Amino acid sequence: MGVQHRLDEAIREFYTGTFDEDARTGSSVDGRVEVERTRRLVRRVLAPGSRVLDVGGATGVHSRWLADDGHEVTLLDPVPAQVARAAEVDTFSALVGDARDLPSADASFDAVLLLGPLYHLVSAADRATALAEARRVMRPGGALFAQGIGRLTAFTEAVTTRGFPDLGQADLEILRTGVWFSMHGGFPGGHLHSVAQLRQEVTAAGFTDVVVHGLEGPGTGALELVAEDARLVELAVELAERLEEQLVGRPSALDALAERSPHLLAVGRRPP
């Protein structure tokens, strides 16, 4: 049994068990900032009435508001329990499936969201397959939104929880390779991206005009420590957006800003 097969089983167990994606993204400050920033970046690009494929859509965190915005949405997720919860919403289609083998016709969607699959696929080959599938089912000129987890996040967490003296070679390997996964309970992981790597993988899959955003901005470490606060969410989103605006035209500075966010979002286009 290969590593990815065993990781796939750990992913199904994790998301079927006590973990609640709705609670993570809807009741914590950092989760709400992540969702709101994603919503705003997607809305900038989507035309009215778009056909959207939400791959790895979990319980419908994004499919719900996309459908409410008037888009025709299909959610796909490998965890049957999450798909069952998503199907209860009844404003979009919800199917069990794998990002590496999409059950959709060529050029059948205006946009594809990959807001989970890339960081649960260990090998570059599997990630390339998922991106190629997204491109295949997307019409020419369509939009891709592909999320990664920043590898600096895992290293920073190791430092803050264990301290510098207890860091080992495995912690340094995360920074070097991005490979990080667990099959013994907790978040299963898979692969953590740098900004440059996420951009390179999306570009290599044939997408153009690729821009990588840091979703939560530089205040995320503090946001994880505070109770839910709608005003704080609003301010954190504004800070992330205004910093990006101020750094337009300075690509290295924008990359440095994005590296400080736990979640990265690559936005690209399939060429016409």
* pLDDT at residue number 232: 86
Looking at the DSSP bridge assignments, the partners of residue 112 are 53, 144
Looking at the DSSP bridge assignments, the partners of residue 149 are 263
Residue 171 vs residue 176, higher pLDDT = 176
Which tens digit of pLDDT belongs to each residue from 181-202? 877 778 888 999 999 999 999 9
* pLDDT at residue number 180: 83
pTM: 0.92
Which tens digit of pLDDT belongs to each residue from 4-47? 999 999 899 989 986 777 767 766 788 899 999 999 999 999 99
CA of 129: how far to CAs of 45, 80, 115, 178, 263, in Å? Answer: 24, 22, 15, 18, 21
Residues sharing a CB contact under 8 Å with residue 67, sequence separation 6 or more, in sequence order: 73, 89, 91, 92
Domain ranges in the chain are 3-269
Is residue 237 within 8 A of residue 43, CB to CB? The reply is no
**Which CATH architecture best describes the domain 3-269?**
3-Layer(aba) Sandwich (3.40)
Is residue 143 within 8 A of residue 111, CB to CB? The reply is yes
